Amino acid sequence: MIIFDNPASVPAPAGQYSHVARVGLAGKTVLQLSGQVAVDADGKIVGTDMTTQAEFIMDNISAILAAHGATLADVVNLRTYLTDMSKLPDYGKVRTARFTTPPTITTVEVSRLFMPGALIEVEALAVI
């Protein structure tokens, strides 16, 4: 069974998509989160620097996971899109502070993201 969800604990999606797909698979639950950007409940970008945006995104990812009985410790993969790879150390500090055991990671630089002012977008895959 697949369940698509938009937990009330985070701002509504900025477009026509779900924040998370919950999939039962071989006695486990897989949570695939949509890419998260630092957008508040009013649809505005939060912060103008990488650290502020990364912290906001990690808070949202944590809230989405919590709504499904998971934590950051259940994350097995992060896919990160940065608009400026020179800001990777700032994002890395935020990520390292949140994960005691680092998940697998893919990080790429992109020319822009769908929201003007967004510096970073992060997708997460968790297994519980």
CA quadruple 128, 51, 110, 63: dihedral positive or negative? positive
- pTM, 2 dp: 0.91
CA–CA distance, 65 with 41 (Å, rounded to integer): 18
Alpha-carbon distances of 65 from 2, 48, 94, rounded to whole Å:
16, 25, 18
How confident is the model over 98-120, as pLDDT tens digits?
999 999 999 999 999 999 999 99
Hey, which bits of 7-60 come out as E strands? 20-25, 28-36
pLDDT band at 33 (very low <50, low <70, confident <90, very high): very high
How much is the pLDDT for 17?
A: 82
Number of domains in the chain: 1
- What's the CATH number where 23 sits? 3.30.1330.40
Average pLDDT over residues 37-41: 94
User: What is the extent of the structural domain holding 100?
Assistant: 2-127
